Chains A and B, each alone.
Chain A
Amino acid sequence: MKPTDIASPEYFHKVVDCQWACPAHTPVPEYIRMIAAGRYADAYMVNWHSNVFPGILGRTCDRPCEPACRRGRVEEEPVAICRLKRVAADNKGDVSGRMPVIPEARNGRRIACVGAGPASLTVARDLAPLGYEIHIFDGEAKAGGFIRQQIPRFRLPEEVIDEECGYILDRGGVVSHMNRRVDSLKALLAEGYDAVFVGSGAPRGRELDVPGRKEAAANIHLGIDWLASVSFGHVSSVGRRVIVLGGGNTAMDCCRSARRLGGEEVKVVVRSGFEEMKASPWEKEDAMNEGIPILNFLVPKQVLHDNGRLTGMVFEKVAAQYDDKGRRSLLPTGEPDVTIDCDTVLVAIGQENAFPWIERDAGVEFDRWGLPKLDEASLQSTHPQVFFGGDAAFGPKNIIWAVAHGHQAAVSIDLLCKGEDVTRRPPPETHLASQKMGIHEWAYDNEVSLDLRFKVPHLPADKALRDIAAEVELGFDREMAYHETQRCLNCDVQTVFTAKLCIECDACVDICPTDCITFTENGEEEELRTRLKAPAVNTYQDLYVQDGLKTGRVMVKDEDVCLHCGMCAERCPTGAWDMQKFLLETAKPKAHACHSR
């Protein structure tokens, strides 16, 4: 194998599994250490910088970081990263003084953002401090988009949304046009904006197309619309027996909301198997803990009604079959159909994109699924001034992806306005700094906690089910949060090896608690992986290879289960190993030279 190039920002970034997995690349270990030190406001700002909505995401994020967490590979469960983020938000105090200054002088550029959801708000957050004038349009009265309309209050209190939207909308540089639905892209472009960002979400719920749907329409609702109505207080009750169709997180929000509005027998019915459901495991668990059964492999066949009054639904039983290519199809098992009585049906079987307001001759091309044709990195459409992000770009994803798109689009818009090539993406900023303080003293806390993951306290179920606005998760208190932070392995503190200092004494090999380090003859990666001190079977994780040793061997470190405990560096007599903190910040638009900050 060729020696690893640690100067490439990719290499060490990938070692920080959580940050690598986060679409917005939040420097997770950095803020977890701040929480441990009681620096909640600092931790909040690290988050705010990367993901814009720490308080919201600390409750609702899809947390791609957690399945990626190295702790899950050396112990049972990952660090509760998402819930720690919330701790930073809950304890931060007043951070308004830490927000970037919005300059009085504008730079003369005007940007329109369609939709006031997380993607558009991120664009505004990134560009307003540079002097851009941002105009945000939304058909609703309040900003937040999906966050405000479809996430139930028992998961996300409205004050949190108000606060975090306020940091963007109420500090100047952004003009909100609420209650104004954009109905023509051409008209918008004609208003002379330098760029248009479309962050209008994926607003249409997919319809149920079975006999009886139309006749019983009064008691059948599209999940996301129903959730919005609940959120705004238009709906305050539901039938006693409720069927929720669909297996995604929206279905989980629907069924749990229904339980709180008087639904006594709430059932979730899903076409696919339990494992393939799109809902996050913890959301399924929370629903089941509230007494909601999930019924799988049932395909809706018919809506039963009595002169338009909904009485139940008929489902066909299916089983998953896989062809040679591993493609799944759901085939009827031939068993008798299943009939479930109900008073209300909530349909949460997916969302569709809809851009009725974009004229087909506006210069924006769409693919055959109705999604805009985009450059994946710049998010630029076939109309050079029009950018897409969030669910409007590649179909329904989640908040953290919307934020990541917002950052990328902001970079693109800034490049466009400066007359530069939007496809030439600026590299991330990285810093690598030794953590050595003494022979066995580091600037980070290298002791590895053996605690198992702490559970977030919940409101008792009897209280939670009585009040739709009562937040179910209470969040970690400071002490629990501290103990949870100690489970973080500090994967951003990298093991950096300098071959010319090494005397090959084996001290690092002997001390490494997880057998990561081997000195051996070089070879091809596949073969080398088999003859390390512990076979490196997780091929997704890189091998760190360095040559230049006196014996002609190479140092090979399997990054997979390194605890970043620093023992190798403590036992190294020559300082060939050093623990160095790698901090990566994705490229954000920077202030123009002519505008001092």
Chain B
Amino acid sequence: MSYLPKPKLHHPKLPTNAIGLTRRDYEGAISTLCAGCGHDSISAAIIQACFNLSLPPHRIAKLSGIGCSSKTPTYFLGAAHGFNSVHGRMPSVLTGAYLANRELIYLGVSGDGDSASIGFGQFAHSIRRGVNMTYIVENNGVYGLTKGQFSATSDLGSVAKKGAVNTDQPIDLAAIAVQLGATFVARSFSGDKEQLVPLIEAALLHEGAAFLDVISPCVAFNNHPGSTKSYDYVREHNDALNRLDVMLPRQEITASYAPGEVTEVTQHDGSVLRLRKLHADHDPTDRASAMHQIMERKAAGEILTGLIYVDPNPTALHEHLGTIPAPLNALGDAELCPGVEALDRINASLR
């Protein structure tokens, strides 16, 4: 925790992106989380990803619920729209915002308490409906704000800081997201930005429900021997499926790989996800294979990370509903009050 704001002075050679902004322009207020919190690293990765993609900050809406994780949107994208909702209700507020205006980029930030306990149903339905969003769970396995009780994602047998052993089965949010029909599912680790930043970029570009489970050690309550979400444990058990490079539509693709080493997935917007395979037998576009990998690695005691599943041609809620493309706030009287004839037509269709 710092009292002073981060100094405005920056590196003299700080690069600018395609829209003339520096990475520093994507920052928010200084974090008030505990020093060393994994969540701050995720904020830094979001900042880096948005900078890399040259996203205009004012075209992004960041939404969150309650908890340490849900405080973090204050600490990045200071110029974006923000909404701090009731505990666990981020998905429904996000869904509403998305229905009202599909032109914004939606970034939902939640935690394991917010999404796997109080908001579990909300999480499930927003994924199931295919809301076009990037849904990041900052998963530390404990209730940090209430001093470190086990959360619903704590592994069976995991030991709390004061010695209690967890006897409940954990919820694997990534597995559930695959099962619920998310069209982009990945898992990563706050301490590995090389993996995390491209995954966030790919999720932001994905035109469907993209879910990211990011393991984020709680330095205050869950970073000790016996924890399965500590820096050391995750580093020792991190089993990455693949390494991802995101290529924007206009970007020239130069490096070449031997066949079999690389899978390229072209997303709907033209961006190319180039996956350097670390597990030869996994096809990231195959949901069954994705489920299989999650189960198998879990049985082996490993933490599976990387891009687990992607549907290159997703559809989203607006297409399912056939709603008007224009944001509701841009509609004029003519569209909102189409007149007696239109009402008659609707009534007739229901007779």
Contacts and interface: CB of A to CB of B under 8 A. Distances in A.
A74 B4 CA distance: 19
A519 to B, nearest CB: 10
Contacts of B3: 440
Interface in A442-486: 446-448, 450
A573 B7 contact: no
Interface in B36-55: 36-38, 40-41, 43-44
Contacts of A507: 35-37, 40-41
A510 B191 contact: no
B69 interface: no
Contact of B217 (A448, A505, A551, A561): A505
A561 B12 CA distance: 8
B6 A551 contact: no
A513 interface: yes
A504 B235 CA distance: 10
B17 to A, nearest CB: 15
B274 interface: no
A526 interface: no
B9 A571 contact: no
B14 interface: yes
B231 interface: yes
B10 interface: yes
A518 to B, nearest CB: 11
Contacts of B223: 503
Contact of B14 (A534, A550, A551, A570): A534
B269 interface: no
B139 to A, nearest CB: 16
A567 B191 contact: no
B41 A74 contact: no
A161 interface: no
A550 B232 contact: yes
Nearest to B236: A550
Contacts of B235: 504, 550-551
Contact of B231 (A503, A513, A561): A503
A574 B24 CA distance: 26
Contacts of A506: 41, 44, 190-191, 193
Contacts of B37: 505, 507, 573
Contacts of A510: 40-41, 43-44
B219 interface: yes
Given A503-B231, A510-B40, A573 B34 contact: yes
A371 interface: no
A439 interface: yes
Contacts of A550: 232, 235
A563 B232 contact: no
Interface in B209-243: 217, 219, 223, 231-232, 235
**Residue among B10, B36, B232 having the largest count of chain A Cβ atoms under 10 Å:** B36
Contacts of B190: 505-506
Contacts of A514: 9-11
A573 B37 CA distance: 8
Contact of B9 (A440, A513, A537): A513
B13 interface: yes
A526 B319 CA distance: 53
A423 to B, nearest CB: 42
B191 A535 contact: no
Interface in B224-268: 231-232, 235
Contacts of B342: none
B39 to A, nearest CB: 10
A195 interface: no
A572 B35 contact: yes
Interface string A544-585: 000000110000000001010101001111100000000000
Nearest to A71: B9
B351 interface: no
A73 interface: yes
Contacts of B193: 506
A447 B5 CA distance: 8
Contacts of A513: 6-10, 24
B7 A565 contact: yes
A573 B38 CA distance: 11
B18 to A, nearest CB: 19
Interface in B1-31: 1-4, 6-14, 24, 31
Contacts of A542: none
A79 to B, nearest CB: 13
Contact of A440 (B4, B7, B13, B40): B4
B14 A450 contact: no
A285 interface: no
A107 B181 CA distance: 93
A75 B7 CA distance: 12
A575 to B, nearest CB: 9
Interface string A53-94: 000000000000000000001110000000000000000000
Interface in B258-302: none
A446 B36 CA distance: 20
18 contacts: A74-B10, A440-B3, A447-B7, A448-B9, A504-B191, A504-B231, A506-B44, A507-B35, A513-B6, A513-B10, A513-B24, A515-B10, A534-B14, A565-B7, A571-B31, A571-B40, A572-B36, A574-B36
Given A448-B9, A550-B232, 8 more contacts: A74-B10, A74-B11, A439-B1, A448-B7, A506-B191, A563-B9, A571-B31, A573-B37
Interface of B: 1-4, 6-14, 24, 31, 34-38, 40-41, 43-44, 190-191, 193, 217, 219, 223, 231-232, 235
